[in-house]
Chains A and B, each alone.
Chain A
Amino acid sequence: AQTVTQSQPEMSVQEAETVTLSCTYDTSESNYYLFWYKQPPSRQMILVIRQEAYKQQNATENRFSVNFQKAAKSFSLKISDSQLGDTAMYFCAFMKSANFGNEKLTFGTGTRLTIIP
């Protein structure tokens, strides 16, 4: 079974600064996907970024980037130039590769990020 660990329950950072959220996972699978989802106070689950394990290049989406270390089973999220709208719970999630709905997202416990004006 897969496990996902987020060791930082809460973080806060000043607006415009850079912040890094940590995530580690445990799996015996070689093919899988990793995701970061954001849940603002509105409760909506919003995909921030995804990474395919077979890709060595770290994924980036505008101000969001990841540091994917496959051997260390680490998948951290870096938010640059943080904005007030980045205030949210952030969940790291793992999904192994399979066919046609056989797989699920396994979530970490989340990190509550607060951006301070």
Chain B
Amino acid sequence: DTAVSQTPKYLVTQMGNDKSIKCEQNLGHDTMYWYKQDSKKFLKIMFSYNNKELIINETVPNRFSPKSPDKAHLNLHINSLELGDSAVYFCASSEPGLAGVEETQYFGPGTRLLVL
């Protein structure tokens, strides 16, 4: 009964490959996010989706393409992987609170991506 789940937890791949990370939430939330945590532990937003619609795209290279088949899923596909893509990628979800304001974001366990 995990709230926000991600697969895989670890991903090791060669430069130039294409890979996907999947995220699913069973909280019934409308909004989902992808964050990237770099080697210095700094966390930064990449994308957000609300009910399958892209809301935030935070100047991420277009090699990164999020896809939301339904509001419970937000997958991240990465083309032509580069060494600098090595990081931990977190999925999160949240629901509207009072007056539709997005409130607390709940995070998945993270996916550690290592590009060789």
Contact = CB atoms under 8 A, between A and B. Distances in A.
Interface stretch (A20-28, A68-76, A78-86, A95-103): A95-103
**Interface size range on B against A:** 20 to 34
- Among B30, B44, B99, B105, max chain A CB count under 10 A is at B105
Given A43-B88, A104-B58, A109-B42, A99 B105 contact: no
Interface of B: 30-31, 33, 35, 40-45, 48-50, 55-56, 58, 88, 90, 92, 94, 96, 99-107, 109-110, 112
A101 B31 contact: yes
A99 B101 contact: yes
Interface residues of A, number: 27
A50 B33 CA distance: 19
A102 B112 contact: no
A27 to B, nearest CB: 16
Contact of B42 (A42, A99, A107): A107
